[in-house]
């Protein structure tokens, strides 16, 4: 249960808005879903790697991008996860799934049961290539439904051919789910969707808006069989209001450094459970803040190319890499020891939800 607003001592209705947007539970598909996965109320952690092609994030989209050399370093993440008893989820895109070097690096880990495999649809590198390459179409959910489905079929078939099984876990590249996405997931046998990314709003670039999405898992799809599990992010602080944060990040206020000032004052700050752009202290602060407000399921996410310098803005050199890996280890150590948490995975969470599902 989430503590009352009065117990948290936060000021006024606007502060309540920021807290209540996280939601201790909410009704969907005829049932109430709690925001924790552990029956004994211990916090549970999922680690997800967006395991994807190397590409220049600032360059135009190019369907010929097929670099996967960083996969020889996938053990850097796997070793840290195994140290803390975690089976990470590797959601793979088409170039990862169809090339011998990346399959050879990843398949033994999957076959040994040390990790789970999922699908990660990057539209611009997945056939058929029928769309215009631009930012809008980089979100697969924006494509014509038949084309989005065809790409998802191609990715799923490629994964099955090279890894020996069909994936049940899905995460849209660029978080780009659309109106038809969950229907296609159900048709193709996916049971978990990791695409939502609260509290982020990607509409400025043509993507989806997760700014009001709760962190609690919810049932999705026409048949209500796909469990949607958001990554962990939140507005935190003494006044975690969407309206205030939106105003602070508007053009004029950004130029006045309003977001940084509000963050330093502890008023409102947007944090995400990822080592990309956030240090260990920030991630731990986010976990503590959400845990105190009743959150019990946490999802850490990162991109596999960050495991080698030079592929993402977050890891440019060896010093960045050392900090990156240490921040993951430090957060997992905090979660498993100080917080007394446990490891879980998306399929286990879904199993818990199915077991507790009540008729609508």
Percent residues over pLDDT 90 in the chain: 81
Report residue 118's pLDDT band, with 50, 70 and 90 as the boundaries: very high
pLDDT of 40 above 80? no
Higher pLDDT, 264 or 326: 326
Highest mean pLDDT among 3-17, 35-49, 232-246: 232-246
Spatial distance between the Cα atoms of 240 and 230, rounded to a whole number of angstroms: 19
Per the rule left: phi > 0, alpha: psi between -120 and 50, beta: everything else, 197 is beta
pLDDT confidence of residue 287: 98
Q: Tabulate helix, strand, coil % of the chain (nearest 5).
A: 40, 15, 40
Q: Which residues contact 98 (CB under 8 A, 6 or more apart)?
A: 158, 162
CA 142 to each of CA 56, 138, 249, 349: distance values in angstroms, whole numbers, following the listed order = 22, 8, 26, 29
Q: What is the pTM of this model?
A: 0.88
User: What pLDDT, on the 0 to 100 scale, is given for residue 356?
Assistant: 86
pLDDT in tens, 171-219: 999 999 999 999 999 999 999 999 999 999 999 999 999 999 999 999 9
The CATH architecture assigned to 5-355 reads Alpha-Beta Barrel (3.20)
Tell me what the pLDDT averaged over the chain comes to.
89
Q: Tally Cβ neighbours within 10 Å of residue 14.
A: 15
Q: What is the mean pLDDT of residues 3-17?
A: 28
* pLDDT tens-digit map of 12-29: 332 323 332 333 332 233
Residue 92, beta-bridge partner list? 51, 119
Q: What is the mean pLDDT of residues 286-311?
A: 98
Residue 257 binned pLDDT confidence (cut-offs 50, 70, 90): confident
The residue extents of the domains of the chain are 5-355
Q: Is the pLDDT of residue 37 over 80?
A: no
d(CA 204, CA 45): 31
The residue among 252, 353, 285 whose CA lies nearest residue 31 is 353
In this structure, the strands spanning 297-303 and 218-220 are unpaired
DSSP state of 58: T
Does position 281 have pLDDT exceeding 60, yes or no? Answer: yes
> pLDDT tens digits for 91-106?
999 999 999 999 999 9
């Amino acid at each position: 249960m989430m503590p009352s607003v009065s117990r948290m001592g936060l000021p006024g209705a606007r502060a309540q808005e920021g807290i209540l947007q996280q939601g201790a539970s909410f009704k969907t598909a005829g049932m109430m879903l709690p925001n924790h996965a552990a029956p004994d109320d211990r916090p549970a952690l999922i680690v997800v790697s967006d395991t994807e092609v190397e590409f220049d994030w600032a360059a135009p989209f190019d369907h010929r991008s097929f670099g996967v050399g960083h996969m020889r370093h996938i053990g850097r993440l796997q070793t840290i996860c195994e140290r803390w008893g975690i089976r990470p989820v590797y959601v793979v895109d088409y170039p990862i799934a169809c090339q011998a070097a990346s399959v050879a690096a990843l398949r033994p880990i999957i076959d040994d049961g040390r990790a789970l495999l999922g699908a990660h649809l990057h539209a611009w590198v997945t056939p058929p290539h029928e769309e215009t390459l631009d930012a809008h179409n980089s979100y697969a959910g924006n494509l014509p439904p038949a084309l989005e489905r065809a790409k998802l079929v191609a990715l799923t078939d490629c994964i099955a051919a090279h890894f020996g099984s069909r994936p049940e876990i899905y995460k849209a590249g660029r978080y780009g789910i659309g109106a038809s996405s969950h229907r296609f997931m159900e048709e193709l046998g996916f049971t978990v969707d990791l695409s939502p990314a609260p509290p982020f709003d990607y509409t400025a670039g043509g993507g989806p808006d997760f700014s009001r999405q709760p962190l609690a898992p919810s049932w999705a799809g026409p048949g209500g069989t796909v469990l949607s599990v958001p990554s962990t992010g939140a507005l935190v602080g003494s006044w975690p209001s969407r309206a205030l944060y939106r105003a602070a990040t508007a053009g004029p206020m950004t130029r006045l450094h309003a977001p940084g000032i509000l963050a330093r004052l502890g008023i409102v700050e947007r944090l995400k459970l990822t080592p990309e752009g956030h240090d260990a202290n920030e991630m731990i602060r986010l976990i503590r803040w959400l845990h105190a407000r009743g959150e019990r399921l946490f999802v850490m996410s990162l991109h596999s190319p960050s495991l080698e310098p030079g592929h993402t803005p977050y890891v440019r050199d060896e010093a960045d890499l050392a900090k990156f890996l240490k921040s993951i280890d430090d957060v997992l150590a905090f979660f498993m020891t100080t917080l007394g948490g446990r490891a879980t995975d998306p399929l286990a969470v879904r199993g818990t939800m199915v077991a507790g599902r009540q008729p609508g």
